[in-house]
Amino acid sequence: MKVKGKKRSWGIAAVLLAVMLAVAGCGADGNGGNGGNGGKSDNVSNNASGGNAADGGNAKEDNKAEDKPLQEVQLVLDWSPNTNHTGLYVARDKGYFEEQGLKVDIIQPGQEGSDAMVASGKSEFGVSVQETVTMARIAGVPIVSIAAVLQHNTSGFASPVDKGIDSPKKFEGMKYGGWGAPIEEAVIDAIMRTVDGDISKVDMLSIGDTDFFAAVKRDIDFAWIFYGWTGIEAELRNEEMNMLYLTDYSDKLDYYTPVLVTSEDMIANSPEVVTAFSAAVSKGYQYAIDNPADAAEVLIAAEPDLNPELVRASQQWLSPRYQDDAPRWGEQKLSVWSNFSEWLFENKLLEAELDAEKAFTNEFLPQ
């Protein structure tokens, strides 16, 4: 939905269409979103069950002693690998998943998208964002957020300094490049109204996967980016940017992006797998918080096509923001889910109000 300098799967409307089609295609077997998972959850170490994730460190020894096969699960990313995902790679490559009795395959999304794959049971876990989880649940798609990767929204509207866009008012007369999702226009309109701006004077263009830096030189004036990746890349390129963060204009836009998701079926039928996964991932992100330099090297080794300099710089910027002011990594607040869904509803982006308490849970996070 936002231009981030790397490929991301479809915009919200296409994601929801894929989710609904995928769920419709797999729902007839009576097993909900657990498609193909079978009885594998019996292989998970007992140390990872019953919400006792914090005590899961002994699972590796128990697993070896009893020679139990690892539970195989799949995790689908939201877009190309980047430092939002570092804790996931750390959990895999430092053996934290194995300690919890899991073998996790990390894959990139295809045209179907991560939300659809989780909802249909093709993947047990996925990386998503609060806005698509919200819209999916309104559409009756049973996915649930189990952890916030970042505590605060680090996205905003970026433009080269020489374009002079240092206020939303100056969007007027400019070309915006995005994905054509309804939320983009709504967000731009909302922050422009705070400074008496007129969105009808903005030329809204859909540029898809076009690289941000190429686009602002050739086709557009500003775009929606995540500073922790594209903003850091701009610093490394010595390209000065104006950055207007969403959170500077509305508290309701301080939503969780990205989040980790699973299905209601997994929570109901395989809670020990969700607990084990959450324990390992929490340990992975905590490692990245405490050891950003080494965590960056883990990601670089796992994904050698990434720019190592960008990964290292981005990781240093992002690691303190994983947990930020939360009491523990991954914790989510009801107020954040309620405020943003109310904003979406007020801006006619939701057909109904969200039951926010069912959209997320903290119950699987280690204490």
Average pLDDT, the chain: 86
259-263 sheet: strands from edge to edge: 102-107, 71-76, 125-128, 259-263, 143-148
Domain end position, chosen among 203, 228, 253: 253
Range of the domain at 201: 157-253
The answer on 342 and 280 residing in a single domain is yes
Which of 46, 72, 68 has the alpha carbon at shortest distance from 58?
Answer: 46
Kindly state whether residue 236 falls inside one of the protein's structural domains: yes
pLDDT at 210: 86
For the residues 166-172, what does the mean pLDDT come to?
98
Lowest mean pLDDT among 62-66, 245-249, 302-306, 311-315: 62-66
Q: What is the dihedral of CA 323, 324, 325, 331, to 10 degrees?
A: -20
Question: And the tokens for 158?
Answer: 């970026």
Which CATH number is 173's domain given? Answer: 3.40.190.10
Kindly state whether residue 6 falls inside one of the protein's structural domains: no
The answer on 322 and 269 residing in a single domain is yes
Domain end position, chosen among 253, 280, 297: 253
Kindly state whether residue 128 falls inside one of the protein's structural domains: yes
The answer on 228 and 178 residing in a single domain is yes
For the residues 254-259, what does the mean pLDDT come to?
97
DSSP string across 111-176: TT-HHHHHHHTS-SEEEE-HHHHHHHHHTT--EEEEEESSSS--EEEEEEGGG---SGGGGTT-EE
Kindly state whether residue 321 falls inside one of the protein's structural domains: yes
The answer on 275 and 233 residing in a single domain is no
Buried/exposed 158-177: b ≥16 CB within 10 Å, e otherwise: bbbeebebeebebbeebbbb
The answer on 248 and 276 residing in a single domain is no
The answer on 129 and 49 residing in a single domain is yes
The answer on 286 and 239 residing in a single domain is no
Q: How far apart are CA 72 and CA 44, in angstroms?
A: 10
CA distances 310 to 2, 10, 219, 323, Å, are: 19, 24, 25, 21
The answer on 340 and 263 residing in a single domain is yes
Tell me the pLDDT tens digit for each residue of 94-139: 999 999 999 999 999 888 889 999 999 999 999 999 999 999 999 9
Helices 271-290 and 308-323, axial angle in degrees (round to 10) = 110
More confident residue, 272 or 17: 272
More confident residue, 182 or 327: 327
Kindly state whether residue 194 falls inside one of the protein's structural domains: yes
The answer on 131 and 42 residing in a single domain is yes
Give the chain's domain count: 2
As beta bridge partners, residue 259 has 128, 148
pLDDT at 41: 34
Lowest mean pLDDT among 19-23, 167-171, 252-256, 359-363: 19-23
Kindly state whether residue 223 falls inside one of the protein's structural domains: yes
Kindly state whether residue 15 falls inside one of the protein's structural domains: no
The answer on 161 and 145 residing in a single domain is no
The answer on 144 and 54 residing in a single domain is yes
Kindly state whether residue 23 falls inside one of the protein's structural domains: no
Domain end position, chosen among 253, 286, 310: 253
Q: How far is CA 222 from the centre of its chain?
A: 23
pTM above 0.75?
Answer: yes
The band of 66, judged by pLDDT with boundaries at 50, 70 and 90, is low
The answer on 129 and 173 residing in a single domain is no
